[in-house]
Amino acid sequence: MQILQEVQDLPSAGNIKAQWVSLWTGPAVGAVLVVALLAFPGFWPPMSPTLTAEQVARYYAEHTDWIRFSQITFNLCGIMLLPFFMVIVVQMKRMKTQSHIFAYCYLTAIVSGATIFALSNVFFLVAAFRPDRNPELTLLLNDLAWIVFIAPIGMVLAQFLLLAAAVHFDDGPDPVFPRWVGAYSLATGVAITPAAGAAVWQTGPLAWDGLLSFWLRNGAFAAFVVVMFFVLRRAVLRQAVAEGVVAG
Amino acid sequence: MNLLTPERYITTTDGDPAGKPDVRFLTWFFPVWYAVFGVIICVLTRVTPPPRPDVTTAGTVAFFTEHHLTIQIGFVLLLILLGGAPLTNGLVLYHMKRMSVGSVFGYGYIAAMSVGALPGFLLVGVCYLTATFRPDRDPELIGWLYDLGNLSYNGSLGCFTTAYVVLAIAVLYDKNGVFPKWFGYVTVWQVITEVIATQFFLFYSGPLAWNGVLSLWWAVVVFSVWLGALIFVLRAATIGEPVDSPGLD
Amino acid sequence: MLQRDAPTTTETRVPGDGHIWVMVLGDLLIFTGYFIIFMVFRTMNPADFLAAQQHLNVNIGVINTVVLLTSSWFVARSVLAARAGNHRSAVRFVYSGAGGGVLFIVLKSYEWAVKISAGHTNSDLFFSLYYVITGVHLVHVVIGLIALGVVVRELNNPGRRRLMVVESAAMYWHMVDLLWVIIFGLLYVMR
C-alpha cells in the first residue's frame, strides 16, 4: 500500500497507516503464536481430563521446559493480537447507518476475552513452576488452566455475534464489510459455543481434549483470524482509496 | 409496553418503535439478559444469595454435591452468555457519551466494568465448575475453591465502585439530561454498598459476613432498586434520542 | 438571577426538587434498614451489646451532636440568606456549616483512633456494627462537604446562583444531621 505524497502528513493518512500496522501485527504475532502452539506439549495430543493427579504431575515434571516456553510465549504475545482486533473496532465505527454502539461493546468483549486467555496462561505456568508440588495441587491448577482456556467462550461469542449484528445493520449503500462476513462470524460463534461443556464433561467431544471443545473451537477461531485478515485488508484499502490517501 | 420484541418495548406514546434500531435492540436486550442472569445466579447456581461462609470443609463438599447439577447447568449457561456483559455495559456507555460531560466518564465506566467481568463474575463460575468437575478431589481443595469463588464474586469491589462513581458524577454533571438526576443519587447508594462489602473479608458469620443481612441482603435490595431504575432510565433515554442524531465518534 | 424555571417566591413550594427528595428519602430508608438490623442483633445479644456499649464515650458523642446541629443551623441560615439575595452572607454561613462538618470528621477520627488502640475492633459484634454504621455516616458527611463546596461555587458565580442547588445541598446536610442524631441515640445513649 503506497500512501500518496501529498496527503502523507494528514490525520487521515495517519489513521490508515495505524490501521495498516495494526492489521499486519495479526500475521506477525500469529506466526509466533503458531510456533508456541506447536511447542506446547499439552496440545499434541491435548491432555486428557481423565489423567490422575500423579500422571498430571509427572507430565509437568517431564515437559517443564516446553510448557514454560510455550505458555510464556502465549502470555507475552497473545495480548498482542489486540491491535488486530482494534482494526475491526475502527471499521465498525465507519458503518454509516448505525450509532456505533456495537463497536464499543466489541471493544469490551475483546478486552475481557483476552484477559481470560492470559489468566489460563498464568495457571499453566504456576503448575509448571514447582514440578515437585503436591500432585493434587498440580491437578487443581491444571484443571483451572484448561477450564479457563477452553470453556469461557462467552466473551468471544459476543465478539462474533456483535460483528454479525453490525454487518446486519450496516445495510446502507456502501457497507464496510461484505454481507457474508456477518454470516461467517455468526457461524464461527455457533462453532465455538459447545466448548463451554468442557467445564463439565471429562470424556467425549465436549471434554477439553474433545473434537468440539478443542479442535473445532480453536480451529474455528484461528480460521476466523486468517479470514478477517484478508477482509480487513480489503476494507482498509477501500477506506484509504475513498479518503484519497491511496491512489484508487 | 411489553418485553417480547425490541419494537414493542421501545415505543413512543403512540406505540410506534422509537429510537435508533441498534440502540433499541440493546435496550431490549438489557432487561432480558439480566432476567436470565438473575435466574442463573439465584436459582441455578445459588451464588446470590451466597452459601454460608461458616461451614466446615465437609460442608463445602456437601454443598457442591447437593447442587452439582444446577451449578453445572447454570454456570455452563453463564459461560456462554457472559458476553452479554459487554453488550449491557456498552449500552450505558453509549448514553454516557451523549451527556454534556463528554466521553471520559463513559470510558471510565466501561473500563472499570470490563475489569469487573473477570474477578467479579467469571472467577466464581470457574471455581464452582472446577469443584464440581472432580467431586473426588481432596476436600481441602474443594473448600479452597468455595472460598475463592464466593469471596471473589461478592468481594470484587474497586471495579464496580469506580464504575458507579463515574456514572454518578456524569449524571449529576450532565446538562443534556440523558439520565435523570435522581438516578445519579441512586447510583451513589451503590457506591456505599460496595464500601460496606469490604467487611466480607473479615467475618465468617453475622450481619457483615458475605451472606450477612446488612452487608449482603440489604445491599442486594439496593442493587435491585438500582438495576430496576437503570432499566427504566435506559428505556427512556433510548426513546428520547432523536433518530437522526449522528453516530458515536 | 434565578433560573427561568424556578417558581416565584409568592408560590408555596417544597424546597429543592424531586431528585433530591428521592435521594433523601431513599437514603433514610436504607439507613432505617441498618438501624433495624442493629436493633435485631441487639435484641439477640443484649448483655454483650450493653457491655461493649460501656466503652463508647458519650461525651464525645454529645459534642459531635451539638457540632452537627450547629452546622445545620448555619446551613439553614445560608438558605435564608440566599433566598433574600444576600450571597456573600450565604457563602459565609456555608463555610461555617462546612467547618462544623470538618470538626465532626476530626472528632470522629480521634474517637475511632482511641477505640481501636484500646483494642475495640471489628472482632466484637457491637463494635463492628458501630464502625460500619458510623463509617457510612462519615462518608455521607464527606459527600456533604463536597455538596457544600458546590454550593459555594454556585453562589460565587454571578451567572448561576440557582436556589435549587443551595436548597438541595441544605436538605442533604439536614438529612446527614438527622441520621447522626438517630445514630447517637441508638448506639450511644439507648441502654
Whether A234 and A7 have beta carbons less than 8 Å apart is answered as no
CA within 13 Å, CB half, A192 = 29
C2, pLDDT greater than 70: no
B159, pLDDT greater than 60: yes
Q: How many domains does chain B have?
A: 1
Give the integer Cα–Cα distance in Å for C160 and A68: 64
User: Using a CB-CB distance cutoff of 8 angstroms, which residues of chain B are in contact with residue A140?
Assistant: 130, 137, 141, 145
Return the number of other C-beta atoms located less than 10 Å from residue A220's C-beta.
Answer: 18
CA within 13 Å, CB half, B131 = 32
Overall average pLDDT of the B166-189 stretch = 93
Residue B93 sits at the vertex; the CA angle it makes with B90 and B98, to the nearest 5 degrees, is 135
Tell me which residue in C19, C30, C135 faces B182 most closely, judged by beta carbons: C19
- Residue B67 pLDDT level (bands cut at 50, 70, 90): very high
- Answer whether residue C151 is part of any domain: yes
Hey, what amino acid is at A162? L
Best interface-test mutation with A: which of B115, B130, B136 has the largest number of A CBs within 10 A? B130
User: Using a CB-CB distance cutoff of 8 angstroms, which residues of chain C are in contact with residue B185?
Assistant: 19-20, 22-23, 26
Q: For residue B210, which phi and psi values (nearest 5 degrees)?
A: -70, -10
Q: How many domains does chain C have?
A: 1
Tell me which residue in B180, B192, B208 faces C19 most closely, judged by beta carbons: B180
pLDDT one digit per residue (tens) for chain A, 248 residues: 788 888 878 888 888 999 999 999 999 999 999 999 999 988 888 999 999 999 999 999 999 999 999 999 998 888 899 999 999 999 999 987 777 888 989 998 998 999 899 999 999 999 999 888 999 999 999 999 999 999 999 999 999 999 999 999 888 888 999 999 999 999 999 999 999 999 999 999 999 999 999 999 999 999 999 999 999 999 999 999 998 888 86
Rg (CA), chain C: 19
| Percent of chain B surpassing pLDDT 90 | 62
Q: For residue A14, which phi and psi values (nearest 5 degrees)?
A: -60, -40
Give the integer Cα–Cα distance in Å for B89 and B9: 19
Hey, what amino acid is at A111? V
Residue A162, min C-alpha distance to chain B (Å): 9
- Answer whether residue C11 is part of any domain: no
Residue B90, min C-alpha distance to chain C (Å): 26
Region for residue A31 given its phi and psi (left: phi exceeds 0; alpha: psi -120 to 50; beta: otherwise): alpha
Instruction: Give the per-residue pLDDT at C11.
Output: 55
CA distances from A219 to A34, A159, A223, A226, B166 (A): 12, 16, 6, 11, 40
Give the integer Cα–Cα distance in Å for B75 and B124: 9
Least confident of A149-158, A216-225, B2-11, C151-160: B2-11
Residue A39, min C-alpha distance to chain B (Å): 26
Mean pLDDT of chain C: 89
Question: Domain range for residue C155?
Answer: 47-189
Closest-CA residue of chain B to C18: B182
A112–B87 C-beta distance less than 8 A: no
Whether B161 and B191 have beta carbons less than 8 Å apart is answered as yes
- Answer whether residue B12 is part of any domain: no
- Answer whether residue B137 is part of any domain: yes
Hey, what amino acid is at A107? L
Give the integer Cα–Cα distance in Å for C73 and C149: 17
Whether C21 and C14 have beta carbons less than 8 Å apart is answered as yes
CA within 13 Å, CB half, B150 = 26
- Between these two residues, B244 and A228, which has the higher pLDDT value? A228
Instruction: Give the per-residue pLDDT at B249.
Output: 66
- Answer whether residue B246 is part of any domain: no
User: Using a CB-CB distance cutoff of 8 angstroms, which residues of chain A are in contact with residue B247?
Assistant: 93, 96, 98-100
- Answer whether residue B23 is part of any domain: yes
Express each pLDDT in B117-129 by its tens digit. Answer: 888 889 999 999 9
Give the integer Cα–Cα distance in Å for B117 and A158: 13
- Answer whether residue C35 is part of any domain: no
**Cα dihedral B16, B22, B27, B30 sign:** positive
* Helix boundaries (H) for A79-134: 82-92, 101-129
- Answer whether residue B35 is part of any domain: yes
**Contact: chain B with chain A (3+ CB pairs below 8 Å):** yes
- At B115, list the grid cell: 475489569
Burial of C97 (0-12, 13-18, 19+ CB in 10 A): buried
Closest CA to B215 of A91, A188, C33: C33
User: Using a CB-CB distance cutoff of 8 angstroms, which residues of chain B are in contact with residue C23?
Assistant: 182, 185-186, 188
User: Using a CB-CB distance cutoff of 8 angstroms, which residues of chain B are in contact with residue C125?
Assistant: 206-207
Three-state DSSP at B68 gives helix
Hey, what amino acid is at B210? W
CA distances from C151 to B166, B225, C72, C78 (A): 21, 29, 14, 10
Listed in sequence order, the residues at least 6 apart from B186 whose beta carbon sits closer than 8 Å to its beta carbon are B225, B226, B229, C22, C23, C26
Question: Roughly how many angstroms between the first and final C-alpha of chain B, as a whole number?
Answer: 31
- Answer whether residue C173 is part of any domain: yes
Give the integer Cα–Cα distance in Å for B171 and B109: 12
C136–B182 C-beta distance less than 8 A: no
Rg (CA), chain B: 20
- Answer whether residue C26 is part of any domain: no
Instruction: Give the per-residue pLDDT at A171.
Output: 84
Least confident of A186-190, B78-82, C10-14, C98-102: C10-14
Closest-CA residue of chain B to A107: B86
Classify each residue of B103-133 as buried b or exposed e, where b means 16 or more C-beta atoms within 10 Å of its C-beta.
eebbbbbbbbbbbbbbbbbbbbbbbbbbbbb
- Residue C3 pLDDT level (bands cut at 50, 70, 90): very low
Question: Domain range for residue B44?
Answer: 18-240
C41–B189 C-beta distance less than 8 A: no
Whether C87 and C160 have beta carbons less than 8 Å apart is answered as no
**Cα dihedral C168, C171, C173, C175 sign:** negative
- At A193, list the grid cell: 459455543
Give the integer Cα–Cα distance in Å for C186 and C190: 5
Mean pLDDT of chain B: 90
Beta bridge mates, B11: B17
Return the number of other C-beta atoms located less than 10 Å from residue A248's C-beta.
Answer: 9
